[in-house]
Structures are given as structure tokens and as C-alpha cells.
């Protein structure tokens, strides 16, 4: 004990535990920090506090029984996870999805993406010391939760998609409600812009803070707004079009700076793009079935392995399936985006001031249950 | 275009494997599992024949060589089966071509007494998903680390070590990541009992 204490004195560094119970870590993440005064010498995230072994659960229950698990990983954009999983199984078992069902998937996933970004926006500004925007953001997000509740039956841990379709059709009140919500959010976003984005305190906290280079994103496999904030034009919806995304006209916001402000701007701009997708999907929404005519009772993908990726709110969510031809997975690998995004924190936070590192951490948009799975 | 280029580059990794196979046939017995002589389109052939061969393993160890996969049904473009000692060289080639790392994971082939490690790579500019796979003996699973090339592999390898007990030699910190720090079990092994 004396030895280690002595060494610390000589180096004038000390160890600081951030979390696992700390508001800025949004759940149960712990970061072991070696500090030199206010500056970070080393930062090592410690994971696993909420690890539930979803991948094992995928092996010991049937394909369909695993569906509710998807909403319990990234609980803020549960529908993206639903989408990734059902799309992977549909690819493996060669299940056709009616067009209307794909449209409904896109509409609800994009609504979910906006609600996820709104919550991130509020929580991120809260991390930086601004309390009020959180209340505004939750007010808007509440509208989405009501809309999604009316069609999926739940407000957070959705389990709306089925193999070959969705379980419930939307009605007219959902369509008018969604259009009204888009109108409302389009009025609110300029207010957020004036109130928060142009706020000099926010700019000083984020500009040039926590730079992530393109090479760093590549070496760590960072995707989503983290990569796009570093000038990487990578969005699975465009890069590897799945579902019916190729039928919509939307842009991928990309910022070159690589700092926390860039990642902030990417997400703020993405909300408008998601609204554009929803509007087009509602305009073009085809009639027809929402599930295959012949009900799928048993899913038995052919032997072999399959991969499917979707763009979740935080980046590329990938599902790797190994099937032995039976009614449950032989191996189910879930590649969660935040896991890779957070893994670069140790390198990126080196030499930063502690409060700046918290701004960096907030700009990564962490969801711990998704990292730990 | 990228696909053809990377396929060509990865082919160079097999130059000495062919020589080895013809030169030391007897000694290759241990390596045979990783590089079975010629198994053409193993998995597909089995599944097409349906129920006749119930005893066949789920998927056979892929034959060596970068093989193009049917992207639409599989979700990846290139399937590269390598012996463990070639993985680092493959990662170096992919890194040179600016691929990014998507994930690393394991599969327990208990019937064949082997553990497989699968590496998924993709490219930011052009869609090209490359799956590198390698098999190692289940009783002493060891694969060299690629965390010095792809720093993101650090956590993926630690996780794979957690779940399967696969040792990544040269890894700077192969401590449990998601499991408790004193965990001495590997939950994704097929013979794991809670």
C-alpha cells in the first residue's frame, strides 16, 4: 500500500472513480480515471454492471420468443433493435414482408429516432448544466410516446415488429396525429436553435472539445452520429439500403469538425431528416396486408450464417445469426453501436479537462443497457 | 471494385498454405480442421440434400481462400477462412485499405471440438462486408490479437474471451469486460451450465 501511495505522490496523479452511480454516466457506467489535477491522464470505462447476456437468451429460446428482448437493450430506440433483429431473421429464413408493413416500420422507427434524439438533447444539455431544455424536450417526446403507444401498445420497450410484418395497423388518428406532431416539432426546432444551439455557453463547452478523427473512428469502428460528426458519410440507411429506405429522399447530415459540437449538430439535423422520411412515407403509404397472408407459425432458417445491419439512433446495429436449421438460434451476435463508440473514449479523453471529458461523453449518446447487453 | 481488390490482396495470404499442404501432408493432420482439402460449397450442399444427412455439422469449416458470398441472402460479401496465425496479416491488409471493424465474436462448434472466431469488417466509402473466420482447438483456444492494428478490437476480444474463453495472445489486458472480474466461467460455451 505504501509503495503505490508513494508512487502516486511522486507522479502527482490520483485515481478517480466516475460512477457507476453518477448522473453524467446515464445509468451504471463506471470510468476509472487517472488524474493529474484537473487533467485526465488515463480513462478506462468499466462495463458490465447491467450485463444480462442477451446473446445466451437468444440461444435458449425460440426466434419469436427473443423478440421482446430487443426493446430491452437500447431502450431509447427500441424499434431500431426490433427492426435489426426481425430483418436478420427474415433474411435468414427468406421471409417476404408486405410493402405496407415495411412503410409502417420506417414510420415508427423514424418517430422513435426523433424521440431518442430529443431525450439525448435534453439529457446532454442537462449534463452541461442547462436544466430547462430537458423539460422542453420531454414535452415534445411525450407526443411521440403517445403516438407510438396508440399503435404499438407500449411507451418505451416496444415489441411491435413480427417476422414478416408488424402486429398492428395504424389508423387515421395516428396519421393526423403524426402530421400534427411534425408541424409542432418544426415550430419547436428553431426555438431550440435560438435557445440552445446558438447559446454562447453551449458553444464554448462544445466547440473544439473532444475531437475524434476519422482514423480513430475507423480503428474503433465508431458509427452513427459519432462517425458523421467526424466527416464520415456513413449511414446504413443509405450505405446499405434495407427495408424501403431507398424510396425516400433524405439527406445524411455530415459535419467535418469532429468535435462535440459537430456530433450535436448531426443529431439536431437528423431530426428534420427523419421528419422528411415520415412525411414521404405517410404520403406514399400503400394499402395492403401488414402480415404475410399465411401466418408464420414456425421460423426455421436454413443452416448457415447471416448478417444484417440497420441504422439505429446511435449507429450501426448489426445482428449476426448462426442457424443450425432449428427453431432457435445456434448463435446470436448483437453488435451494438455504442459499445464501439464508447471504446474510443479512453484514447479520446486523454489530456482533457474532466468537465470537457463529460461533454465528450455526453456527445457520444450512451445507453448503457445497450453496451452491456 | 473494392471487393475484387481486397479479394486479390487477401489471396496472397494463402500462397504458402498451398505449398505447405502438398509438402507436409502427414504433419498437416492438426491443421486439417482449419484447412480441409476440398469441401466445395459445404454448407449449401448439405442443406440442399435436406434430411438425408442429419449428422452433418451445422456448418463445415470453410475451405481456405477468400470466397465471395451471396450478399442478398447472407449479408456479407466476402467470406475468408484462415488459420489463426494469418489473422494479423489479414487485419493489416484490411486496415491498409481503410476498412473499419464492426465486431468480433465466437462460435462454439462443440461437435467438432473447435471454437471459431469471426471478425466483421466493413468500409465507410463502399459497401463491402468482409467476414474473416478462424478456427482453433476447443481444449486450448488461442488466437493472436489484432488490437494493435484495430484498437476497437480490444474490447471485442475481451468480450469473446469472457464468453468463450478464447485466449487472444498478445492482448494488453485480457481481463473480464462484461462478466464480473472474478468470473471463471464462459457462458456461451455450449456445455456451460448455470
Domain boundaries, given as residue ranges, for chain B: 1-18+62-194
Grade residue B26 by pLDDT with cuts at 50, 70 and 90.
very low
- Show the 3-state SS of A184-240: HHHHHHHHHHHHHHCCHHHHHHHCCCCCCCHHHHHHHCCCCHHHHCCCCCCCHHHHC
**Closest-CA residue in chain B for A309?**
B75
**What pLDDT, on the 0 to 100 scale, is given for residue A320?**
92
**What pLDDT, on the 0 to 100 scale, is given for residue B30?**
41
**Can you tell me which residue has the cell 468535435?**
A259
Are A276 and A250 within 8 A, CB to CB? yes
Check CB contact under 8 Å for B107 and A322. yes
Of B75, B118, B149, which is closest to A91 when you measure between CB atoms? Answer: B75
Check CB contact under 8 Å for B178 and A307. no
HSE of A266, CA atoms in CB hemisphere, 13 A: 31
- Show the 3-state SS of chain A: CHHHHHHHHHHCCEEEEECCCCHHHCCCCEEEEEEECCEEEEEEEECCCCCCCHHHHHHCCECHHHHHHHCCCCCCCHHHHHHHHHHHHHHHHCCCCCHHHHHHHHHHHHHHHHHHHHHHHHHHHHHCCCCHHHHHHHHHHHHHHHHHHHHHCCCCCCCCEECCEECCCCCHHHHHHHHHHHHHHHHHHHHHHHHHHCCHHHHHHHCCCCCCCHHHHHHHCCCCHHHHCCCCCCCHHHHCCCCCHHHCCCCCCCCCCCCHHHHHHHHHHHHHHHHHHHHHHHHHCCCCCCCCCCCCCCCCCCCEEEEEEEEECCEEEEEEEEECCCCECCEEEEECHHHHHHHCHHHHCCCCEHHHHHHHHHHCCCCHHHHHC
Residue B147 predicted with pLDDT over 60 = yes
pLDDT tens track for B113-124: 889 999 999 999
Report yes or no: B176 at the A interface, CB cutoff 8 Å. yes
Check CB contact under 8 Å for A221 and B155. no
**Closest-CA residue in chain A for B48?**
A302
Report yes or no: B119 at the A interface, CB cutoff 8 Å. no
Best of A234, A304, A336 to disrupt the B interface by mutation (most B CBs within 10 Å)? Answer: A304
**What pLDDT, on the 0 to 100 scale, is given for residue B20?**
43
Long-range contacts made by residues A90-93, C-beta under 8 angstroms, separation at least 24? A90/A163, A90/A164, A91/A306, A91/A308, A91/B73, A91/B74, A91/B75, A92/A301, A92/A302, A92/A304, A92/A306, A92/A321, A92/A323, A93/A163, A93/A299, A93/A300, A93/A301, A93/A302
Q: Taking each helix axis as running N to C, give the angle between helix A260-284 and helix A354-363, from 0 to 180 degrees, rounded to the nearest 10.
A: 20
Contacts of A347 in chain B (CB under 8 A): 151
Q: Taking each helix axis as running N to C, give the angle between helix A260-284 and helix A172-192, from 0 to 180 degrees, rounded to the nearest 10.
A: 150
Residue B3 predicted with pLDDT over 90 = no
Contacts of A305 in chain B (CB under 8 A): 59, 74, 118, 131
Check CB contact under 8 Å for B124 and A234. yes
Rounded Cα distance between B113 and A348, Å, is 41
Distance set, CA A351 to CA A35, A39, A213, A272, B18 (Å)? 9, 6, 16, 35, 49
pLDDT tens track for A200-232: 989 998 988 888 999 999 999 999 999 999 999
Give the count of beta carbons closer than 10 Å to the beta carbon of residue B41.
Answer: 12
Check CB contact under 8 Å for B152 and A91. no
**Closest-CA residue in chain A for B105?**
A333
Are B97 and B78 within 8 A, CB to CB? no
Question: Nearest to residue A324, comparing CAs of A309, A354, A303?
Answer: A303
**What pLDDT, on the 0 to 100 scale, is given for residue B48?**
43
CATH superfamily for A2-50+99-290+339-372 is Cytochrome-c3 Hydrogenase, chain B (1.10.645.10)
Question: What cell was used for B88?
Answer: 494479423
Beta-carbon contacts of residue A184 (< 8 Å; ≥ 6 apart): A140, A143
**Closest-CA residue in chain A for B103?**
A335
**What pLDDT, on the 0 to 100 scale, is given for residue B69?**
80
Of B43, B73, B105, which is closest to A320 when you measure between CB atoms? Answer: B105
pLDDT tens, residue order, chain A (373 aa): 444 555 555 568 888 888 787 776 677 888 899 988 888 999 999 988 889 999 999 888 999 899 999 888 888 889 999 999 999 999 888 888 899 999 999 999 999 999 999 999 999 998 888 888 899 999 999 999 999 999 998 888 898 998 888 988 898 999 999 999 999 999 999 999 998 999 898 999 898 888 899 999 999 999 999 999 999 999 999 888 888 998 899 999 999 988 999 999 999 999 999 999 999 999 999 988 888 888 787 888 888 889 999 999 999 999 999 998 888 889 999 999 999 999 999 999 888 998 898 889 889 988 888 898 8
Check CB contact under 8 Å for A307 and B118. no
Question: What ipTM is given for this predicted complex?
Answer: 0.86
Of A223, A234, A307, which is closest to B76 when you measure between CB atoms? Answer: A307
Report yes or no: B2 at the A interface, CB cutoff 8 Å. no
Residue B36 predicted with pLDDT over 50 = no
Residue B31 predicted with pLDDT over 50 = no
Best of B80, B103, B175 to disrupt the A interface by mutation (most A CBs within 10 Å)? Answer: B103
**What pLDDT, on the 0 to 100 scale, is given for residue A138?**
92
Check CB contact under 8 Å for A53 and B152. no
What is the pTM (predicted TM-score) of this model? 0.85
* Burial A260-295, CB ≥16 within 10 A → b, else e: bbbbbbbbbbbbbbbbbbbbbbbeebeeeebbbeee
Average pLDDT of chain B?
77
Report yes or no: B73 at the A interface, CB cutoff 8 Å. yes
Check CB contact under 8 Å for A227 and B98. no
Question: Nearest to residue B6, comparing CAs of B127, B103, B102, B134?
Answer: B127
Average pLDDT over residues B51-77: 67
Check CB contact under 8 Å for A307 and B58. no
Check CB contact under 8 Å for B124 and A309. no
Architecture of domain B1-18+62-194: 2-Layer Sandwich (3.30)
Strand boundaries in B140-185, DSSP class E: 142-144, 167-169
What DSSP string runs through B43-72? Answer: HHHHHHHGGGGTTS-SSPPPPSEEEE--HH
Check CB contact under 8 Å for A304 and B74. yes
Amino acid at each position: 500500500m505504501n509503495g503505490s501511495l508513494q508512487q502516486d505522490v511522486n507522479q502527482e496523479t490520483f485515481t478517480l472513480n466516475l460512477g457507476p452511480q453518477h448522473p453524467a454516466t446515464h445509468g451504471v457506467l463506471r470510468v476509472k480515471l487517472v488524474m493529474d489535477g484537473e487533467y485526465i491522464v488515463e480513462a478506462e470505462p468499466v462495463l458490465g454492471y447491467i450485463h444480462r447476456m442477451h446473446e445466451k437468451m437468444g440461444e435458449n429460446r425460440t426466434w419469436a420468443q427473443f423478440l421482446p428482448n430487443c426493446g430491452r437493450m437500447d431502450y431509447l430506440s427500441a424499434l431500431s433493435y426490433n427492426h435489426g433483429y426481425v430483418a436478420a431473421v427474415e433474411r435468414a429464413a427468406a421471409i417476404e414482408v408486405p410493402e405496407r408493413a415495411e412503410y409502417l416500420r420506417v414510420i415508427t422507427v423514424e418517430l422513435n429516432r426523433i424521440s431518442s434524439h430529443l431525450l439525448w438533447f435534453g439529457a446532454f444539455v442537462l449534463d452541461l448544466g442547462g436544466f430547462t431544455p430537458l423539460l422542453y424536450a420531454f414535452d415534445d417526446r411525450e407526443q411521440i410516446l403517445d403516438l407510438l403507444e396508440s399503435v404499438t401498445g407500449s411507451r418505451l420497450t416496444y415489441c411491435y415488429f413480427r417476422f414478416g410484418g408488424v402486429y398492428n395497423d395504424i389508423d387515421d388518428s395516428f396519421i393526423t396525429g403524426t402530421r400534427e406532431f411534425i408541424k409542432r416539432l418544426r415550430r419547436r426546432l428553431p426555438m431550440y436553435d435560438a435557445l440552445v444551439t446558438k447559446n454562447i455557453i453551449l458553444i464554448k463547452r462544445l466547440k473544439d472539445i473532444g475531437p475524434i478523427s476519422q482514423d480513430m473512428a475507423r480503428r474503433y469502428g465508431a458509427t452513427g452520429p459519432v462517425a458523421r460528426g467526424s466527416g464520415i458519410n456513413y449511414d446504413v440507411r443509405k450505405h446499405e439500403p434495407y427495408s424501403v429506405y431507398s424510396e425516400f429522399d433524405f439527406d445524411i447530415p455530415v459535419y467535418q469538425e469532429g468535435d462535440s459540437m459537430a456530433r450535436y449538430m448531426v443529431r439536431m439535423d437528423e431530426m428534420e431528416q427523419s421528419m422528411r422520411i415520415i412525411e414521404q412515407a405517410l404520403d406514399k403509404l400503400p394499402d395492403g396486408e401488414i402480415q404475410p397472408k399465411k401466418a408464420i407459425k414456425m421460423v426455421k432458417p436454413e443452416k448457415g450464417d447471416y448478417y444484417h445491419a440497420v441504422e439505429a439512433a446511435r449507429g450501426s446495429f448489426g445482428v449476426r445469426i448462426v442457424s443450425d436449421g432449428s427453431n432457435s438460434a445456434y448463435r446470436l451476435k448483437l453488435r451494438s453501436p455504442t459499445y464501439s463508440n464508447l471504446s474510443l473514449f479512453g484514447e479520446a479523453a486523454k489530456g482533457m479537462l474532466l468537465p470537457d471529458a463529460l461533454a465528450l461523453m455526453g456527445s457520444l449518446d450512451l445507453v448503457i443497457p445497450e453496451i452491456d447487453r | 471494385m473494392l471487393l475484387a481488390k481486397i479479394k486479390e490482396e487477401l489471396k496472397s495470404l494463402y500462397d504458402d498454405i498451398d505449398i505447405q499442404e502438398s509438402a507436409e501432408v502427414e504433419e498437416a493432420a492438426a491443421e486439417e480442421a482449419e484447412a480441409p482439402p476440398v469441401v466445395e460449397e459445404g454448407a449449401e450442399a448439405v442443406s440442399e440434400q435436406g434430411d438425408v444427412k442429419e449428422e452433418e455439422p451445422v456448418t463445415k469449416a470453410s475451405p481456405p481462400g477468400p470466397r465471395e458470398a451471396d450478399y442478398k441472402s447472407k449479408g456479407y460479401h466476402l467470406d475468408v477462412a484462415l488459420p489463426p496465425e494469418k489473422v494479423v496479416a489479414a487485419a493489416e491488409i484490411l486496415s491498409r485499405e481503410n476498412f473499419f471493424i464492426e465486431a468480433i465474436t465466437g462460435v462454439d462448434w462443440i461437435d467438432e471440438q473447435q471454437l471459431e472466431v469471426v471478425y466483421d469488417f466493413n468500409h465507410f466509402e463502399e459497401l463491402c462486408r468482409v467476414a474473416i473466420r478462424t478456427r482453433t482447438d476447443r481444449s486450448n483456444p488461442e488466437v493472436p490479437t489484432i488490437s494493435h492494428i484495430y484498437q476497437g478490437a480490444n474490447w471485442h476480444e475481451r468480450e469473446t474471451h469472457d464468453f468463450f474463453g478464447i485466449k487472444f495472445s498478445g492482448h494488453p489486458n485480457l481481463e473480464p469486460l462484461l462478466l464480473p472480474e472474478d468470473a471463471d466461467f464462459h457462458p456461451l460455451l455450449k456445455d456451460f451450465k448455470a
